[in-house]
Amino acid sequence: MSTATTSILRGGEFLLVASEPSGVFTPERLTDEHRMIGATVRDFVNGEVLPVLDRLEEKDWGLARELVRRGAELGLMGADVAEQYGGLGLDKVASVVISEQMSLSASFAATFGAHANLVVLPLSLFGTEDQKQRYLPRLLSGEMVGAYCLSEPGSGSDALGAKARATRQPDGSFLLNGEKMWITNGGFADLFVIFAKVDPSHVTGSGSEPAGFTAFIVERAFGGLTSGKEEHKMGLHGSSTTPIILQDVRVPAENLLGEVGKGHKIAFNVLNFARYKLGAMCGGGAQGAIGEAARYAATRRQFGAPIASFGAIRHKLGEMVAQAYATQSLIYRTAGLIDARIAATPHEATDQSVVLAAVEEYAIEASIAKVFGSEMMDFVLDENIQVHGGNGYVRDYPAERHYRDSRVNRIFEGTNEINRLLIPGMLARRAAKGGLGLIAAAKALQDELLGPPSLPDADDSPLAEERRTVANGKKASLLALGLAMQTYREALPEQQEVLIHVADMVMETYAADSALLRAGAAAGTAAADLHAAAARTFVNDAAVRIEASARQALATMVEGDTLRTMLAGLKRLFRQMPINTATLRRQLADAAVAQGAYPF
């Protein structure tokens, strides 16, 4: 599937290089095939999944298996898999479209995600030819359902601290023992990707890799693998979540996935894929909730008028739209960057190393998509309940289920706290290795801010003030990150409070930049004013949040005259006049109410 040309920045380079609207992928540039795929998923979820959601929530796993098979018939399980194994070989934008639409049913989206993203994908990326031939066709047809076993009772975020053990046998096979926790599809899956530690004496290499951390492909039919009781969860009642108990599970040597001691490469690379797709699922869920809120507000009357006519409700709806717009913009931009890098690298269709390298290049953006998407969705779903009032708190309306289902997204695929630490951490490591010119840029910025002030170039073009604001957000992010690297050096990973503030600045900047570029790309279209309203609203408020995070970060690192000097420089970056966002939010809210849906 071909997409329009996208200019190719390196991962994290958005902080250093300005992009042109024409060089960024946006949802408006989806092809007819992308749109057809989205319609297929939407029709499947609305027509076949949502009508039986009550049965799924009653733990009817036979029905869940049937829905996986039905989704497989539509090709949804193999979007990322080469055609020779029964997949569709689609681009990453298509996988974002699928994720966005699958979100309409959060429980089944979890079932789908565990199967397609966490089992099919690692097999496709890291499996041997024999493993692919044996398992991918059965997974893609829905004959087998997959589950991914990484977390344990004592190792959640610290995945490499796993206690599960794999003991090599004389015939080359392995015996697995241990327990895995919070396994989606655990109650009924047939095939498991399981991580365990092999005895270090069997690990070859320099010894610098995590000792023996290894991935295995395990069939339930091997014996010794049992599912614990279903967890009583806050949400996602229609998805299976159980412990997996391993008692002398004999795994043939040919079911080793990747290399002994290299399981972390599989785990972390798969998470990169899962993170931007989870961001897309959160974006799609938020868009659906905006439609629910808008339709409810149009029909619910108080004080003799629809509540959609009241300023407080219009403010909520407008802000929900603006935040969803920015999130959707950054997610499609990220997928477009990945696709552009893959397309620019000559390779065979079955060569997964190019895909792996491209996704790893944008690991920073993938973490941003996950954190920003999940937190935006929680905000939107909370406001959806508020718009519904008392009706939002009862099960007669879907608002309360959305709220419960959403909360785990901030824990899935690496907690948001872990991802916040990863974002500046990856930027710093790439800068230290010379892959990104952050250090030179940060030093030049400090010199600029300590020098005499200069007036910005005159520019009266549309969105010019917003472009200056975003450029200054990038500078503020560089200032804080550069100072952190200079102040703490090798001890930077230990300064988690500073890293979190920097991550918030970088995320807000990427979102604002992406929203602004999308609005720029929409110039001259019938919806140009609406795009501009969303981008201007988001950029205006993002600047306030970026400055607040910068002040916190700077005050943590320096004090006295140095702090006063830094704050004076920061003030020079954020001297833009606030705009009337009330009018802009009303415009966005009215569009959502008129359409009864997210208006983009």
- Could you give the CA distance from residue 409 to residue 414 in angstroms, rounded to a whole number? 9
Judge contact between 368 and 16, C-beta under 8 A. Answer: no
- H or E element at residue 98: helix 92-102
Residue type, 86: G
- Could you give the CA distance from residue 235 to residue 238 in angstroms, rounded to a whole number? 8
- Per-residue burial over 148-162, b if 16 or more Cβ lie within 10 Å, else e, is bbbbbeebbeebeeb
Can you tell me which residue has the tokens 């079911």?
A: 255
Residue type, 24: V
Identify each DSSP E strand in 49-204 by its residue range: 146-149, 165-168, 174-184, 191-198
- Could you give the CA distance from residue 266 to residue 470 in angstroms, rounded to a whole number? 36
Count the residues in the chain: 600
Q: Quick check: is 448 catalytic?
A: no
Segments in 362-415 forming alpha helices (H): 363-388, 399-406
Output the six-digit token pair for 45: 């979820």
Q: Which of 100, 152, 361, 413 is catalytic?
A: 413
φ, ψ (nearest 5 deg) of residue 87: -85, -175
Judge contact between 238 and 60, C-beta under 8 A. Answer: no
The catalytic residue positions are 413
